Amino acid sequence: MAEPRTLILILGDQLSLSLSSLKDADPARDRVLMCEVAEEATYVRHHKRKIAFIFSAMRHFAEELRQKGFDVRYTRLDDEGNAGSFGGEVERAIAALRPQRLRVTEAGEWRVMEMIRSWEALFGLPVEVLPDDRFLCSHAQFQSWAEGRASLRMEYFYREMRRRTGLLMRGDEPEGRRWNFDADNRQKAERDLFRPSHAQFAPDAITLKVLELVERRFSNHIGSLEGFGFAVTRADAQTVADGFIRDFLPEFGIKQDAMLSADPFLNHSLVSFYINIGFLDPLDLCRAAERAYHEGLAPLNSVEGFIRQIIGWREFVRGVYWMTMPDYAQSNFFDAARPLPDFYWTGDTQMNCLSITIKDTIRHAYAHHIQRLMVTGNFAMLAGIDPRQVHEWYLEVYADAYEWVELPNVLGMSQFADGGLLASKPYAASGAYIDRMSDYCGDCRYDVTAKTGPDACPFNRLYWDFIGRNIDRLGRVPRLQPVVRNWSRMSADRQALLRRDAQDFLDTL
Ligand SMILES: Cc1cc2nc3c(=O)[nH]c(=O)nc-3n(C[C@H](O)[C@H](O)[C@H](O)COP(=O)(O)OP(=O)(O)OC[C@H]3O[C@@H](n4cnc5c(N)ncnc54)[C@H](O)[C@@H]3O)c2cc1C
Ligand code: SF4
Q: What is the pLDDT of residues 173-190, one digit of tens each?
A: 999 999 999 888 888 888
- Give tens-digit pLDDT for 20-78: 999 999 999 999 999 999 999 999 999 999 999 999 999 999 999 999 999 999 999 99
User: What local confidence, expressed as pLDDT, does residue 151 receive?
Assistant: 81
Q: Is the CB of 405 under 6 A from ligand 1?
A: yes
Instruction: For the chain, list the domains and their CATH numbers.
Output: 6-130 (3.40.50.620), 139-198+232-321 (1.25.40.80), 342-506 (1.10.579.10)
Provide the Cα torsion 283, 289, 290, 291; round to 10°.
110
What is the pLDDT, as a whole number, of residue 446? Answer: 98
Q: Where are the beta strands (DSSP E) in 29-82?
A: 31-35, 71-75
459 lines ligand 2 (CB under 6 A): yes
Q: Residue 173 contacts by C-beta under 8 Å, 6 or more apart in sequence? A: none
Is the C-beta atom of 440 inside 6 A of ligand 2?
A: yes
272 lines ligand 1 (CB under 6 A): yes
- HSE-CB of 212 using CA atoms within 13 angstroms: 7
Beta carbon of 413 within 6 Å of any ligand 1 atom: yes
Q: Which residue CA neighbors atom 2 of ligand 2 most closely? A: 457
In the prediction, which pLDDT does 2 show? 67
Ligand 1 centroid–CA 272 distance in Å is 6
| First-residue to last-residue Cα distance in the chain | 61
| CA 266–ligand 1 middle distance (angstroms) | 14
Residues 6 or more apart whose CB falls under 8 angstroms from that of 53 comprise 228, 230, 232, 273, 277, 365, 399
Sheet holding 6-9, edge to edge: 71-75, 31-35, 6-9, 101-105, 127-130
Q: What SS3 class is residue 96?
A: helix
Closest CA to 362 of 195, 221, 506: 221
pLDDT at 200 over 70: yes
CB of 368 shorter than 6 A to ligand 1:
yes
Per-residue pLDDT tens digits for 217-231: 999 999 999 999 999
Q: What torsion do the CA atoms of 481, 486, 492, 494 make, to the nearest 10 degrees?
A: -140
Q: Which atom of ligand 2 is nearest to the CA of 443?
A: 5
Answer yes or no: is the C-beta of 434 below 6 A from any ligand 2 atom.
yes
The mean pLDDT value of the chain amounts to 96
pLDDT tens digits, 89-118: 999 999 999 999 999 999 999 999 999 999
- Give per-residue pLDDT as tens, 145-168: 999 887 899 999 999 999 999 999
pLDDT of residue 194: 78
Do the Cβ atoms of 381 and 466 come closer than 8 Å? yes
Give 461-464's long-range contacts (Cβ < 8 A, gap of 24+): 461/498, 461/501, 461/502, 461/505, 462/379, 462/382, 462/383, 462/502, 462/505, 462/506, 463/382, 463/428, 463/429, 463/430, 464/495, 464/498, 464/499, 464/502
Give the nearest ligand 2 atom to 444 CA.
4
Compute the distance between CA of residue 310 and CA of residue 400 in angstroms, rounded to an integer.
14
Task: Please tell me if the CB atom of residue 158 comes closer than 6 angstroms to any atom of ligand 1.
Answer: no
The closest ligand to the CA of 321 turns out to be 1
- Specify the pLDDT at position 1: 54
Q: Taking the complete model, does pTM exceed 0.95, yes or no?
A: yes
Atom of ligand 2 nearest to the CA of 440: 5
Pocket lining: 280 vs ligand 1, CB cutoff 6 Å: no
Q: Calculate what percentage of the chain has a pLDDT beyond 70.
A: 100
The reply to whether ligand 2 has any atom less than 6 angstroms from the CB of 458 is: yes
Cα 260 from Cα 213, distance rounded (Å):
34
Confidence band for 244, pLDDT divided at 50, 70 and 90: very high
Residue nearest (by alpha carbon) to ligand 2 atom 1: 448
Q: Mean pLDDT, to the nearest integer, of 307-320?
A: 98
What is the structure's pLDDT at 485?
Answer: 95
Q: Whose CA is nearest to atom 8 of ligand 2?
A: 353
State mean pLDDT over 304-324. 98
**Checking phi first, is residue 323 left (phi over 0); if not, alpha (psi -120 to 50) or beta?**
alpha
- Mind spelling out the 3-state secondary structure of 398-439? CCCCCHHHHHHHHHHHHCCCCCCCCCCCCCCCCHHHHHHHEC
Say how many CA atoms lie within 13 Å of 119 toward its Cβ.
26
DSSP at 348: -
Q: How many whole angstroms from 432 Cα to the centroid of ligand 2? A: 8
In angstroms, the CA 75 to CA 66 distance is: 14
Q: State the greatest distance between any 2 C-alpha atoms of the chain, in Å, as a whole number.
A: 81
Average pLDDT over residues 410-428: 96
d(CA 506, CA 307): 40
SS3 260: strand
State how beta strands 173-174 and 169-170 pair: antiparallel
How close is the Cα of 374 to the center of ligand 2, in Å? 11
The residues with which 338 forms a beta bridge, in sequence order, are 385
Could you tell me if the CB of 435 is within 6 A of ligand 2? yes
Q: Is 310 in the pocket of ligand 1 (CB under 6 A)?
A: yes
